[in-house]
Structure 1
């Protein structure tokens, strides 16, 4: 949770992460068919009461297979003079909009669906007013600097169950360093407002799941109609959350939880904690959902996944800086000690190939 120095709300990211567990993609939900629940005149308490959390957790746990060795893959990221997003197979796995560097490696198995080549993409942005905010002086930086750099290490642990130490168990698969211009020795993206680069590595995992790959490329649809359909779907989801409809929401969440649990070989204890991270906020009373405005459309999963996100303050200078690069799906609520907070949720949508019909937008939440 981040405190706004100028006062007002304190905005917190609810995530795959977007929780700072670095699992931003863990806010992925599922299945639009259940939106029909909106028409029910069911009592809010009944809707929550009809959802059996223990059975739900047991069902997810029953789908997890275990293997003689359970390999895990991680990224260790260090940056200088930039903020960034990092994606694996075009799914967001980490973002850092501060000057801080994180020593902790980020698990990426939930973005690896099967063995073979895996794609890593990083997006670099200028540091803006971060120096001014940190040290009380300095200029606003609107382009990437000459000495911008990022280093990404891909790490494999052969068996997470026997992991003991970095020295003994972590194997460096690949180390990538951002490039400098051969003639000037300056960062190749120097002077740009944005820089993106992609590289690959090979992973070997004992599982194979479909995930979000069985979905259509949404970039090929009528973009105006698609955008309107996404906004309307977000509004329907707002109604489910306002109604505290745990049964419908958690049913939609199931395929995401299943993917994470299978790819990370999780036990029931972890699954319970993961599920509760999303279940408990459903019960927050009097959620005040904010209008879905000032957003931009973003694609992930090679066009198979779409979401609405607030732009950066560089893209929209008059935007409330507390909304910069946050989900457009969020609400204000009061804590028990009567403080105002905001909770952002990344709602990512897709349309499965077998549900696609011309002129219709049969969304599911990205798996």
Structure 2
């Protein structure tokens, strides 16, 4: 394993289907809905330090589903994931990059021969070495053991609070609610002060557009667990995020979706965004 001062671990998925990719049981990319129609795909690296949290071995899972309007996977539906590590310092990033784990992939011969696959999964285990231990959700309450009906109502109430803040376009309140998540990302990705300020300015700029907010339709929502039961969120039944700013130009860009994951450090403290 190469020694780097500030290692930045990245997965590089090529997705030609509907799919979710999980790292340490946390979804890092989800591709569903209209964007999967036809034969188009999604390509692009995703930094994963923020879901690894510390050195160790972690499971990577790629979940493949049929494209929108299809009931089963077809031969052209494929998924593969490459694994890279590089120095986070951009001056050294390109020269220091190396593959730290073999690629995993779905069968290139296709999945539809003789068997109708409504779902297919690829997975592997990676090992990483990080210079930190982040205070994430490792020691949080296992929410999957709680009463699901009661938990969903409590999570929904928290989402209502966030929705109200977004509707007011109150960036400072949202930043305050999100400070735990921000701190974790700043540590995971070695943010400089300049990068921290840039991130906050981007969010404030989004709020200052005063975009309309999609309604929070409770009948469309389902409860989802991640992080081996220690993270929870609400998702729409169609696979999209419940909290969305409406696009100012739907013909040219989609809605701005905000993914919110919650955890509970202790029953006394209650939910917080992470």
TM-score, reference length from structure 1: 0.63
Indicate the structure whose relative CO is greater, using CA pairs within 8 Å and at least 6 residues apart: 1
Specify whether residues 145 and 69 from structure 1 end up closer, same or farther in structure 2 by C-alpha distance, changes over 3 A only: same
Query: Which residue does 1:306 correspond to in 2?
Result: 232
| 2:243 is the alignment partner of 1:329 | yes
Query: Which residue does 1:116 correspond to in 2?
Result: 56
Query: Which residue does 2:18 correspond to in 1?
Result: 83
User: Larger Cα Rg: Structure 1 or Structure 2?
Assistant: 1
SS at match of 1:302: helix
Query: Which residue does 1:152 correspond to in 2?
Result: 81
Query: Which residue does 2:271 correspond to in 1?
Result: 363
* CA offsets 1:4-36 (integer angstroms, 9 cap, x no match): xxxxxxxxxxxxxxxxxxxxxxxxxxxxxxxxx
* CA offsets 1:82-113 (integer angstroms, 9 cap, x no match): 22111211222223343444554222122221
Q: How does 1:50-65 map to 2 (within 5 A)?
A: none
Specify whether residues 208 and 276 from structure 1 end up closer, same or farther in structure 2 by C-alpha distance, changes over 3 A only: same
Separation of aligned partners in 2, 1:311 and 1:288: 18
Match of 1:177 among 62, 80, 104: 104
CA drift of 1:237 comes to: 1.8
SS at match of 1:355: coil
Specify whether residues 332 and 257 from structure 1 end up closer, same or farther in structure 2 by C-alpha distance, changes over 3 A only: same
Separation of aligned partners in 2, 1:296 and 1:363: 18
Separation of aligned partners in 2, 1:171 and 1:295: 41
Equivalent residues of 2:74, 2:112 under 8 A apart: no
CA drift of 1:125 comes to: 0.9
Specify whether residues 75 and 210 from structure 1 end up closer, same or farther in structure 2 by C-alpha distance, changes over 3 A only: same
CA drift of 1:176 comes to: 3.4
Separation of aligned partners in 1, 2:86 and 2:167: 42
Specify whether residues 205 and 276 from structure 1 end up closer, same or farther in structure 2 by C-alpha distance, changes over 3 A only: same
Equivalent residues of 1:87, 1:93 under 8 A apart: yes
Give structure 1 stretches of 5+ with no counterpart: 1-66, 130-140, 313-324, 357-361
| 2:6 is the alignment partner of 1:93 | no
SS at match of 2:71: coil
Q: How does 1:1-367 map to 2 (within 5 A)?
A: 69-80=5-16, 82-97=17-32, 98=36, 99-129=39-69, 141-146=70-75, 148-158=77-87, 160-163=89-92, 165=94, 168-178=95-105, 180=107, 187=111, 190-285=115-210, 287-293=212-218, 294-312=220-238, 325-332=239-246, 342-353=255-266, 355=268, 362-365=270-273, 367=274
May I ask how many residue pairs the two structures share in their alignment? 263
* CA offsets 1:272-309 (integer angstroms, 9 cap, x no match): 22222323333444744403231222222111111111
Specify whether residues 143 and 238 from structure 1 end up closer, same or farther in structure 2 by C-alpha distance, changes over 3 A only: same
Specify whether residues 155 and 193 from structure 1 end up closer, same or farther in structure 2 by C-alpha distance, changes over 3 A only: same
Equivalent residues of 2:75, 2:111 under 8 A apart: yes
Equivalent residues of 2:106, 2:122 under 8 A apart: no
CA drift of 1:241 comes to: 2.5
CA drift of 1:334 comes to: 5.8
CA drift of 1:117 comes to: 0.7
CA drift of 1:171 comes to: 1.4
Specify whether residues 228 and 160 from structure 1 end up closer, same or farther in structure 2 by C-alpha distance, changes over 3 A only: same
Equivalent residues of 2:21, 2:28 under 8 A apart: yes
